[in-house]
Amino acid sequence: MVKQVSAVDKLKGRVTLPGDKSISHRLLILNAMSEGISEIENICLGDDVKSTAKCLTALGVRISFDGTDAVVEGVGLHGFIPPQGILDAGNSGTTMRLMAGLLAGQPFESTVDGDASLRNRPMGRIIKPLVEMGASVKALRADDKPPIVIKGGKLHGIYHRPPVASAQVKSCVLIAGVLADGLTTVSEVYPTRNHTELLLSSMGAEIAIDNQDVSINGLGDKALQPLSMRVPGDISAASYFMVAGSIHDNAYLTIPDCGVNPTRRRIIDLLCGIGGDVKLANTRKSGPEQVADIIVQTPSSPLASFELAGRTTADLIDEVPILAVLATQCNGQSTIRDASELRVKESDRIRSVVNGLKVMGADVQELEDGMIIKGPSKLRGAIIDTYGDHRIAMAFSIAGLIADGTTTILDAQCVSISYPGFYRILESLAC
């Protein structure tokens, strides 16, 4: 599918968000491990979350959907059945990594594979700790690339310090820790998104946090309690519209029911810090997660440049493509560093972003672990190769709203991975 985006005179209206993708994955997996029935409202219906649901169904979990609501019938920690075939994670690294933590504690062999893009993403960072915990985990291709074969066993707790901050690696090890004997501790380089810890704690697991160390006691004969809740709107999805409202010269957008978990809201802090006009209203809770309505409008003065590095980059890793678009409209030089893991996402996101910005006329320099962008630049419409990457497609669609001429987005259907209604919403805001 090809989408064409042109500049609009005004952006105004309400943005309907999909349920948070990270929370949706975790609620499905953890409720499948519980004993009882859970009801999940506003679950993300993107392809990635569907991959997680399909894997769980293949392991004997009953999951039913009614629109954006889901009912999960938990099978307990050890009620999963051996799959009849290969578990397909599709394009979802989250599915593969979190399911690996679950499968590491099951007394049968499973193979988890994915599409061509996922097959190029190394899994060594989860293989190492799971093997140390007592599971047999092997990648069938060079450089620890999928498919991976997991033979679960009797796990024991470990102390693990990942070399790179990663919420997916942390969550994989913590999920395995639920099934392990003793204490499992993940010591992070930087604190990452904490949805797994919040949900596990709400479901009765013993979670302890000491600075950057997150620990969990194996449940043994105890059970996880099912957790019913409404999934907050996805703040990563909201980031595209927050940036759109900040770089367009006539915008007023309302984004209701968005998750504003403190480990995920750095995008709001960044925009406010460089002169953006972003406000929160009606702050409340959904389950253990914080939720608010976000109001963003055209700022009253030019935006300042910014720098991402270290922990800030880790907190904003999913938002780097749209933040690069933002940087083209900021005064001065913006720098993004310590983002090398973007080289092995759905595409090489550093190269994909740099190539797209260059053809649109931006002043951008590629770095091994990021990029340097000088602004402000007047963007021009161009043909954008998304490389099948949903975040590239959405970021450059927003760039097209302020560019001269028409921006053509190739393989635009890839947005269905995380935000199936993205283009419908985008068109509804154009005035």
247 within 8 A of 376, measured Cβ to Cβ: no
Q: What are phi and psi of 392, to 5 degrees?
A: -65, -45
Distance, in Å, from the CA atom of 304 to the CA atom of 312, rounded to the nearest integer, reads 17
Question: Beta strand 109-113 with 87-88: parallel, antiparallel or unpaired?
Answer: parallel
Which of the following is catalytic: 318, 338, 389, 411? 318
Q: Is 318 a catalytic residue?
A: yes
Both tokens assigned to 196 = 């797994």
- Cα-Cα end-to-end distance for the chain: 24
Neighbours of 413 (CB within 10 A): 18
158 within 8 A of 186, measured Cβ to Cβ: no
The CA-atom distances, in angstroms, between 232 and each of 46, 303, 381 are 15, 29, 34
Catalytically active residues, by annotation: 318
